[in-house]
């Protein structure tokens, strides 16, 4: 139920078109260098911190990724951009950096 919260709120607000609440490209099992790693950067401040940690602060400034709706509309592009950075290090290294943050 907790994970469905954003979808329920979006529907209550009348945001029913595809892409407005369906895809969450900041809650994915991303590919790192050696294996997949689950990341859930659902809130804006978490997404900004994720972009900073992976060395891609420009993602947080990109208008395509400025809101949940625009992230969903450009989900494949965002996932590819994040995975490009994560592919540079093993998952355990990323996990350590995320926990420290």
Per-residue pLDDT of the chain (101 residues; tens, 9 = 90+): 666 777 677 677 666 544 444 689 999 999 999 999 999 999 999 999 999 999 999 999 999 999 999 999 999 999 999 999 999 999 999 999 999 99
Rounded to an integer, what is the distance from CA 67 to the centroid of its chain?
11
The full 3-state SS of 76-91, as one line of letters, equals HHHHHHHHHHHCCCCH
pTM of the model: 0.78
Residue 44: DSSP 8-state: H
């Amino acid at each position: 139920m907790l994970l469905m919260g954003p979808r329920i709120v979006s529907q209550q607000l009348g945001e029913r078109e595809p892409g407005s609440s369906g895809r969450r490209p900041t809650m994915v099992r991303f590919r790192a260098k050696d294996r997949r790693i689950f990341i859930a950067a659902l809130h804006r401040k978490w997404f900004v911190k994720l972009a900073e940690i992976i060395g891609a602060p420009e993602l947080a400034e990109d208008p395509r990724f400025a809101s949940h709706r625009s992230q969903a509309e450009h989900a494949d592009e965002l996932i590819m951009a994040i995975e490009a950075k994560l592919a540079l290090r093993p998952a355990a290294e990323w996990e350590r950096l995320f926990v420290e943050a």
